[in-house]
Structure 1
Amino acid sequence: MEKIRQGSLYGEAAQRIRTMIKDGRLKPGTRVPEKQLCEQFGVSRTPLREALKVLASEGFVELLPNRGARVVKLTRRMLKDTLDVMSALEGLSGELACQHVSSEEIDTMRHLHEQMITHYENGDLAAYFEVNQRIHETLVAAARNEVLLETYNNLNERVRRFRFSQEMSPALWEQVVGEHEQMIAALENRDSEQLGRILRGHLKHKLDRVAVDDTDSDELAS
């Protein structure tokens, strides 16, 4: 692994650890190997521990008194609570986007939507989920609200592996495509009420997958 160059050492270290958690190289519930990461990144313990403080504030790790840090386990209850909040944020972002979105951004989302369909039909689910995520990120950015964008991105980082990696049945696939088409149409019409309603319901199929058991101890499979 390439060593970190001088600059914001803890910021770069935080980004690398964040990526390692999201792609599964650091598993939920495991200790963060500080010594090993210091050697890989070419940094001392001080910037690494500052990075872990940042990640703890974002919900990626929990700090253990005098014992370093551990990757947070995402329980069904935590996931449901997070998706509840994200659903509300996406609804608000849609309402605001109708006031501020440009024609170019709408064209971008429609193009991404067409790409998403092509990737799914070709069986390239990794590309499908990547484009799906970009559609939602573009829409939230179009709200022109920095606080909303930062809050949404922080929450999305926590649950992205679950939200954008689940297998879908043909019926669910048709539902997702239909909702995306409705979203873009409402955005083109600047119908804030309709778009907000669609977006608040868009995560329902994800919430339904975790609504069976809300116990804090019910850990999700990674």
Structure 2
Amino acid sequence: MKNKKNNEELAYEKVKRAIMLKKLNPGQRVTEDWVSKELEMSRTPIRAAFKRLENEGLIELVPNKGAVVYNPSNKELEDVFHLRVVLEQYAAQLAVPHLSVQHIAAMEQLVKEELDAYEKKDFEAFMQVNACIHTYPAKISGNKFLLQQIETLNQWSDGYLILKDEFYSTPMDEVKSASEHKKIIEAFRKRDVNKARSAIETHLLSTLGDLSKDLSYRTSIFN
């Protein structure tokens, strides 16, 4: 059982890393035979690994075709990020009355860790920190149901980042998320709900625009 688990993890990490590094691209087939030969293992743990990757939105298991790297539509990206705007703005509204100096310091530390992950080109670390930044206001709010929904949407967004973001080729001076996160934190520091809501919307729609480059997001969807 231990070897089976280890093999499943190896297969999972092999395919996920190949997708992160753009060695496997959206729409491309991922065959059990390729993974089996690369890792010298049977197909049983590979199938389990494929199921995990499908649950994370990274591959799609197509009948009579096998595994294909998932290619989310712009409509799907829009739906997820627009809902994130609504929920994260609401979380900010609930969090502001409970904010402390310690909360602000914790968020500032997360942004430092985000920049460190960029400098090291550690995509996994970046996604973990990014998720913490986006769920933090919901945690402060104390609304566990809101937190669960934001965490779920963040998990889907992580998949889109892996599939579409140019993390490994983006120079540090072109990275926008850290500066946009700082604007959100500054609004929290001032206890300004409206500015926090605006900064959250700007940041999420900026990310959406980068992920779906053929669409233009020049105006607020809620104006």
**Structure-2-length-normalised TM-score:** 0.65
Q: Residue 88 of structure 2 contacts residue 150 of structure 2 at CA under 8 Å; is this kept in 1?
A: no
Shift of 1:133: 5.3
Structure 2: any 5+ residue segments left out of the alignment?
Answer: 217-223
- The residue type equivalent to 1:38 in the other structure is S
Partner of 1:188: 189
Cα 1:67–1:7 shift into 2, 3 Å: same
Please list the CA deviations of residues 122-152 of structure 1 after superposition, one character each: whole Å capped at 9, or x if unmatched.
Answer: xx5957x888756532223422345235313
Q: Distance in 1 between matches of 2:84 and 2:101?
A: 25
The match for 1:20 among 18, 21, 24 is: 18
Name the CA shift for 1:102/1:50 in 2 (closer, same or farther; >3 Å): farther
Q: Secondary structure at the match of 1:7?
A: helix
Distance 1:85 1:16, change over 3 A: farther
Note if contact 1:14-1:54 (Cα within 8 Å) is conserved in structure 2.
Answer: yes
When you count helix as a share of all residues, which structure comes out higher?
A: 2
Pairs within 5 Å for 1:1-222:
5-7=3-5, 9-10=7-8, 13-98=11-96, 103-113=101-111, 126=121, 136-142=130-136, 143-144=138-139, 145=144, 147-161=148-162, 162-163=164-165, 165=167, 177=179, 179-192=180-193, 194-208=195-209, 210=212, 212-213=214-215
**How far is 1:203 from its partner?**
2.1
Q: Hey, what's the Cα distance between the residues in 2 that align with 1:43 and 1:102?
A: 52
Equivalent-residue separation in structure 2 for 1:29 and 1:155 (angstroms): 18
What runs of 5+ residues in structure 1 fail to find an aligned partner?
Answer: 215-222
Q: 1:180 to 1:18 in 2, by over 3 A?
A: same
Give yes or no for contact 1:97–1:139 (8 Å, CA) kept in 2: no
> Aligned partners of 1:114 and 1:137: how far apart in 2?
14
Relative distance call for 1:88 and 1:44 in structure 2 (3 A) is farther
1:220 corresponds to: none
Report the RMSD for the aligned CA atoms in angstroms: 4.2
Looking at structure 2, the residues matched to 5 and 99 of structure 1 have their Cα atoms a distance apart, in angstroms, of 50
